Amino acid sequence: MDRLPVALLSTFTIALLHTLIPSHWLCFVLVGRAQGWPRRKTLAVTAAAGLVHVATTVTLGILLAALGRSLLAHQEQLLERVSGFILIGLGTLYLVSHLLHAGHHHEHDRVITQRAAIAALVFSLVLSPCSASIPLLIVASASAGWIATGLIAAVLLVTTVGVMLLMVGLTSLGIERLQFTFFDRYEKLILGLVLCALGALVMIVRD
């Protein structure tokens, strides 16, 4: 238990830095706007995705504690790659939507359904482990008992979801106050390009 404070501080630092990556919050802002969601719904989707994201990361750590950490490196690269493909796929759908409905910017076209948009956002995040370091911290703390693992999970949850909600809330508010006619007209084109870029960045960084 003497190492627990260090593990908790490490968890907070890693989660904070990792959650600031745009793929963890910017896509929620842009998709929410393109789908015509009110800010409250966008935040709710963000919170739910963050919760599932943390649960997946903690579960991975517990499984590694039981099965051994040698599986981590390959699995993390594979999951990150799938996450990147999901973002690129969602971005491509928005690009197609823009091309099919060019000039009809005053309506929120439903080429991409609400369920599909939410599913893509959630799975892109779930398949992106917080960091190899977090599951390894859980593995290291496993010998200290469930209390230590629970504390690490709590710090990860509060930090990850808190930062995501903060970034999404502030960015959404800023976009709403700054009425960009250009963005209103080409929001799906911009969203598609940004999501494709984020997906590509995820895969390039992991490689």
The ranges assigned to domains in the chain are 4-206
Distance CA 198, CA 195 (A): 5
- Sort residue 132 into left (φ over 0), alpha (ψ -120 to 50) or beta: alpha
pLDDT the model gives residue 121: 86
pLDDT the model gives residue 40: 93
pTM of the model: 0.70
Per-residue pLDDT of the chain (207 residues; tens, 9 = 90+): 467 787 788 889 888 888 888 878 888 988 888 788 999 999 999 999 999 988 988 887 787 777 655 555 555 566 567 667 777 887 787 788 777 765 444 444 455 678 888 888 888 777 665 555 677 677 767 666 788 888 888 999 999 999 999 999 988 887 766 555 555 566 677 777 887 887 787 667 654
pLDDT the model gives residue 71: 52
Q: Which of 32, 37, 45, 62 is nearest to 161 (CA)?
A: 45
Residues 6+ apart with CB under 8 A from 105: 184, 185, 186, 187
Distance CA 34, CA 18 (A): 25
pLDDT the model gives residue 108: 46
pLDDT the model gives residue 31: 87
pLDDT the model gives residue 133: 66
Is residue 183 a contact partner of residue 190, using CB atoms and an 8 Å limit? yes
